Amino acid sequence: MIIYCLFFISCLALLSWIDFRTFILPNIITIPLIILGFSWNLLSPDKFCSYLDSFYGALLGYFLIYFIDVFYFLISKKHGIGMGDAKLLSGIGATLGWQIVLPILFFSAILGLVGGLIWLNLKSLTKNEPFPFGPFLCIVASFAVLLKTFNSELISSFL
């Protein structure tokens, strides 16, 4: 489980770096993250959740971002979040399960609000300028996977 955890966090770090530089979360990384998360939970004895929780996590992660963007578009007539973020949250949900998707989105939004304000001030941009949201999803998901990995490792070491 620790090796997969390190691989997952490495992918998140790479996605964060790419998103900060380009405002793109490439499909070549996000889609395999979804497939690997589901496969890990289907085939590994050290799974993070059941394969059904993984499947529902992938769906919830994607469609939650999708519907937020649709709702925002109905109000503002412009898109507010990219579908790369939806695929990223889908990969996080596929790895950690549907139960963690809403908390990750909530804490990412709070972190993104603070980070976005700092980003806009550092770059001397207006509040209408975009900033990457993926890195905030990645930061919170990294903490979540570390907690899930090392909590289970600590618990099993005491048993």
The one-character DSSP state at 24 is: -
For 46, residues 6+ apart whose C-beta sits below 8 A from its C-beta are: 1, 4
Give pLDDT, residue 153.
57
Give pLDDT, residue 49.
96
Nearest to 8 by CA among 85, 87, 92: 92
Residues of the chain with pLDDT under 70: 152-159
For 88, the token pair is: 């990223």
Give pLDDT, residue 1.
81
Give pLDDT, residue 158.
46
The C-alpha atoms of residue 20 and residue 39 are separated, in whole angstroms, by 28
